[in-house]
A and B are shown apart, each in its own frame.
Chain A
């Protein structure tokens, strides 16, 4: 991944510890480009919120520097950072109407009355809540409150907006709608967004780039498609999308590819991504949709016998569970296309895949 040319936010060697014993964030280096939608994705407790709070100024970095627009902001208090923030529980002020909530950051900045009115009207129009200006937060539905929270974080036109699991409390349908709306707003305003979630589909649909966190370390930083198709290590492959794992030992390296002997017998030709020497242990990662059933002879280097264990009909495809080389959790997605193979449980068929679809990663 090339360095972003114009970094609005830069984390440089940032470390964070709450108790002086364990590092919650370990040596974070991250650049966020101007206008980018960057998502921090990772399991619970991986340090995403901590990073966001350090950027917003509510936590101090134990070590390292954070730059905003080229300025070190470690010693700038939160209220002078000019960063919009959307909280998980909305944090709308309950004693103020929607309009007063939106006016709050503008009044703090001592804007004129007319200008404030105009900006509020524009912000309410942006989130389609023109008719709700005089309601209190308690009288709004979850989705409406969330929209107000987004509008409030944007109304004072910050260059950077942080969102910490803003859609966590909404139901699935509303969440998908809000994902679309937030994405839309981001594209229209050109504002930079740093977004935190542990929902991978949310991350994939919304982001320009995703930083996958685990245990205080960024495992991979890449655009959604690269993250899905070219995971750099076993954690990312496992965390993003569905994935078949085969464990083995590297037998031979030949340039781009390598030969891996599986623990249960059988040799696999795979793309050498994250293995460096012969004899190293490796996890092979293979996407379920990249497996062909009954491949034409010699079309793929890897062909194995597989017994059908289970078939699940999912409309557009059949999810098929095979037993391959002693692994009985090998998933293959068979598209429901014209002339697809018809399988029966218990049947033994041949399956195969290309070397470049099978990635040899760290063990």
Chain B
């Protein structure tokens, strides 16, 4: 045991090393060892989590296509005042660059990119590019306007200038149904193109609904699991965990079997005469289907945190409350329930965050009206190939979840949360 001696204000061990140095040496070894132990996980998280998310966030602002293919045009437009259409000089630079891009078969990308911000402009570019390849010399201005009269509009040019920015916020603007007008002011999208904000709201609302339904269903189950004698509660725990042993796809498709118009539930309802054969209820391929299937899938994530909290609540609390004169219901609401709040918080946060980004179930049983924001992210990733917009939508979702987490931490405190 090192004996501390006070020597000119510095505490040292017996052999004269300052105590602090010695302590740091002793702890460094421990720290190295624990770092070695967590390193594989850390590396995995970096590769599978941090890096992809970083890449996604970068893609949501990254905007290389136009800047890469039309650099000189953009330079020429630098000092353009936006009042009238540019002069012949700009047209000829653009013509040369379009010709090069067309020969490299890259002009389609430029057209697609412009089309995101100026719907209908894809054909403007492709048509014009075809025209230009046929002529050798300018003047180009008339050729352009002849190919597509949009070249005579200042809006086309200001949009071209906007999509030429190397880094852009236009994906984020699009993700919240906004856009920039010709002069760069932020305005809302035309009415018929506002889809993402309602979709976000719908996703939030549906997630909230699913969370509340899960809570209402899970609370009594968890209560029984925590209070029944062990031999019954073990059975209940197995029943709750059973879905985890079944494939997600199987569970989702079994809802299709149950709920479709020719499905089991409708058949039974018709058979017992509650509804007529013509009046079969549409319970799947719409929002109802999404909610039913997702509640089923997310229920265990609510039950388990609740159960783990309830298990720690001594039954003597309820007895004490009753002996002090509280009716059973009052004892429950004033003593038992407040002690389960950490479990409610943890379960709700878990279910809500899972629900808000859920993809596979709405995709399978949501039909047209039961789609959530994640389905649109997938659509832009896989079908429209507008990765920038997909990344921006995902980034907003991530920010929303983080904000929620922050809020929860401020209100309830993350330390009091119990997951299981």
Contacts and interface: CB of A to CB of B under 8 A. Distances in A.
Interface stretch (B23-31, B118-126, B230-238, B325-333): B325-333
Contacts of A58: 319, 322
A14 to B, nearest CB: 19
A156 B320 CA distance: 13
A205 to B, nearest CB: 26
A108 B316 contact: no
A81 B364 CA distance: 58
A85 B325 contact: no
A91 interface: yes
B338 A95 contact: yes
Contacts of B335: 93
Contacts of A156: 324-325
A79 B338 contact: no
A84 B319 CA distance: 11
Contacts of A152: 324
B314 A79 contact: no
Nearest to B325: A108
Given A93-B335, A95-B338, A105 B319 contact: no
Contact of B322 (A79, A93, A94): A79
A56 B323 contact: yes
Contact of B326 (A56, A82, A85, A104): A104
B316 A87 contact: yes
A78 interface: yes
Nearest to A104: B324
Interface in A8-61: 56-58
A58 B317 CA distance: 13
B327 A79 contact: yes
A109 interface: yes
B321 interface: yes
Interface in A168-226: none
A53 to B, nearest CB: 9
Interface string A68-81: 00000000011111
A83 interface: yes
B323 A83 contact: yes
Which residue, of A79, A80, A85, has the highest number of chain B Cβ atoms within 10 A?
A79
Which residue, of B326, B328, B330, B331, has the highest number of chain A Cβ atoms within 10 A?
B326
Contact of B324 (A57, A94, A95, A105): A105
B338 to A, nearest CB: 5
A187 B321 CA distance: 26
A150 to B, nearest CB: 13
Interface in A86-114: 87, 89, 91-95, 104-105, 108-109
B328 A91 contact: no
Interface in B301-352: 314, 316-317, 319-328, 330-331, 334-335, 338-339
Contacts of B321: 93, 104
A85 B316 CA distance: 11
A39 to B, nearest CB: 19
Interface residues of A, number: 26
Given A94-B339, A95-B338, A108-B330, A87 B325 contact: no
A89 B323 contact: no
A6 to B, nearest CB: 24
A84 B322 CA distance: 10
Given A91-B314, A95-B338, A95-B339, A79 B326 contact: yes
A156 B324 CA distance: 8
Given A91-B314, A91-B316, A91-B317, A78 B322 contact: yes
A83 B334 CA distance: 20
Given A91-B314, A93-B335, A95-B338, A85 B328 contact: no
Given A79-B325, A79-B327, A108-B330, A87 B320 contact: yes
Contact of A85 (B317, B320, B327, B338): B320
Contacts of A84: 323-324
A241 to B, nearest CB: 33
B314 A78 contact: no
A108 B324 contact: yes
Nearest to A92: B320
A91 B320 contact: yes
A42 to B, nearest CB: 21
B320 A108 contact: no
Contacts of B339: 93-95
B313 to A, nearest CB: 9
A94 B309 CA distance: 13
A91 B313 CA distance: 10
Contacts of B320: 85, 87, 91-93
A82 B324 CA distance: 7
A81 B339 CA distance: 26
A81 B325 CA distance: 8
A300 to B, nearest CB: 54
A108 B339 CA distance: 19
B319 A87 contact: yes
B223 to A, nearest CB: 18
A95 B339 CA distance: 7
A164 to B, nearest CB: 10
A91 B325 contact: no
B317 A79 contact: no
A89 B326 CA distance: 20
B226 to A, nearest CB: 16
A59 B338 CA distance: 26
Contact of B317 (A56, A77, A93, A108): A93
Interface of A: 56-58, 77-85, 87, 89, 91-95, 104-105, 108-109, 152-153, 156
6 contacts: A58-B322, A78-B322, A87-B319, A91-B316, A91-B320, A108-B326
Given A77-B322, A79-B323, A80-B325, 12 more contacts: A77-B328, A79-B322, A79-B326, A79-B328, A89-B314, A91-B317, A93-B321, A93-B335, A95-B339, A104-B326, A108-B325, A156-B325
Q: A-B pairs with the 5 shortest C-beta distances? A: A105-B324, A91-B320, A85-B323, A91-B316, A108-B325
